[in-house]
Chain A
Amino acid sequence: MSNIIYVDNNATTRIAPAVLDAMMPFYTESYGNPSSMHAFGGNVARSVNKAREQAAALINASPEEIIFTSCGTESDSTAIWATISSIPDKKHIITSRVEHPAVKNLYEHLAKKGYKVTFVPVDRQGNLDLDFFYDHLTDDTALVSIMWANNETGVIFPIDEITRAANDKGVVLHTDAVQAVGKIPVDVQKTNVDLLSFSGHKIHAPKGVGALYVRKGTKFTPFLIGGHQEKGRRGGTENVASIVGLGKASALAADLPNTSMLEVARLRDRLETGLVSHVQNAMINGDTTSRLPNTTNISFEYIEGESILLMMNELNICASSGSACTSGSLEPSHVLRAMGIPFTAAHGSIRFSLSHYNTEEEMDFIVDKMPPIIDRLRQMSPFWNQGKPDDSMLTGAECPL
């Protein structure tokens, strides 16, 4: 499997070799419990603390503001539950229509439990309707949870403005920054968020570890109640090796030269331009002016995403799709639907997400191999005839007038 071309880094990333090296001792000789009184455990506690400093430094926080969790979803859940439990008299919460399921499904759950939930819409480019947000932000709002950058399109939200508005009203602001951290500058001194989630396996650390930043002074009720670990804010013996991995990965990300992400963006643009110019009826989903450097979401109209992915799979190219069939549900991605992407395009959307491990040769390989795949599937499609869309079978969706 060494010839894998992996462009699915918003799903997960490879573990950096230096990260694995840093972790290995904690799977072998350094197996002490950080809570133990003996030095054998105490040394492990020191390593956890070092990791906390490294993770904090990546987002310019203080170490004591970092809680280690088991994943991004736990960080999100903790942030949301911790806040609403601390502010029980306010029953209004805000999020966006394009959140990751970790936030979206919890908000939908809370709606059933009696919370008044506002879902802020996005426009065709995937940008938040800020006016709608300002209109719905009130003194009775307990929590705003809006992602820093979208996992499907890479669109970056104006989290500074959102945070200022929430701060002005005294409303707690949480951001799911799982896709942003490590890819774009995230600085909690400049952006005054109260809570921020990020995840290890999106930044070349292993799966099974996440972090939650909690600004000093933020009201917090523990979500996972147990031992005194994490200063009583998250019970449970620490996943030491993975925490050390997250720390090391944070340090590597912080040390990456600025040029590294510019290079990723260059490769992404090379891929995107190549595909859009070599395939007709291919369109980019999401605002390209404010976007993560590693992400592009392209719709290949009139064909279906799962088929495209499986054809790519034959060539060992790994990517993702927003089509219905890949999700196991019968409807395409909620993000693309919220953007109003037509069905002709939503079902055939492919997300390519790069990392600094990708090469120019790989991008050129994809640009070379994709057009025949698209062509082949379109030749099978009843909506495509002799090199162009055939609308004769398209029914419904006509102007009701």
Chain B
Amino acid sequence: MGKDGKEYLVETNALDSGKLTPEQDGALLNAEVMDRSVIVKGGFYYEMDRKAGKLVKYQIKGEELTTADTLPLDRFSIENSFWAGGDTLLLTGLKTPDFAQAAYALLTTGNMKLIASGNMEIPRPFGRFETMSIGFVKMQGKKLLVGYTYHQQLSPSEYTTSDTIYVTSLSYPQMKSVKTDRDHRSTYPGGMNTIQSSSFADEHGDFYFMACPGIALGNRPQLPTAILKIGRGTDQPDKNYFFNLSLALHNHAYGMWYLGNGQAIVRSERKDLFKGLDDHYSTAHFEFYLVDVLTQKVIKKLDFPLDKGTRRECVLVEGNIAYISINSSTDGNYVWEYNIKAGTLKKGLQMAGNTDYILRIDRLR
């Protein structure tokens, strides 16, 4: 995103060096219909056009982002996406305009055809709760695990979140409820993974997700930000596993990316540097930490300038290198390389010109 608010999409073969200027090298996006909540695969970009009620498949031709195909998805808001093999894409989300009914759409992106869609058998908000958020979906054998929670709107500018993480096992693809687990150790499981990653499965099939009660997601900051684990083949969070990040970092965190061998990167806010939601995105205050999810230890802080932008897909792991985009208020916008084995950092590609934020970084093919 440029300082003038214009957004561009830039494709490149090299992240380790060089300089790109989005105004010259990128495709200008129509910010009225497209934002950063994009799914990228096989040379195409998929994004929900909320106003038109359709999923749009884009590709860059020349310097233009062009529409390749569309699929109507009525009254649907995407919360999470999950590639269910090949070009089969499972979108889980909520029915609009109430954001109170969990729903799904299963489609093939090659021909943009709908395989199935409907509601998921997940309880609607109850009592004082009005809306909900789906934070992760995970295939576990023949079941689909869905992590979610509920919200209460307190005023136009204030809301809060239930003190409970819910994980429901659904039969797949029938989407019928088999079992629901309630976990009170934190809240707001995961997040919209089309905007920022916050869960992964490791080499052993164990699944880890963040719980994010900080002001930028759950807004129940009394509870700790933590990493929870759903063991291979199980259908609920491991009650003996709770990696309390707030205790270790003295802050809330949002965003987690897996590097391999039990190591992950988490992106943590600095509450002493921002005032509130007003400046949470524009103040450079984010730090990146290397953590070990097996030992539940923070290994080290990665030596980047402070980063800005509340929610960003900012880490891309390719083999032994993690590419990490940093928006510094003083040192510009760069993609950094973290060598996982050597533990070293190097400055790579610069996004120059009018760039204000690098909003996401994805593998295109």
Q: A and B: partners?
A: no
Residues on B lying within 8 angstroms of A by beta carbon are none
Residues on A lying within 8 angstroms of B by beta carbon are none
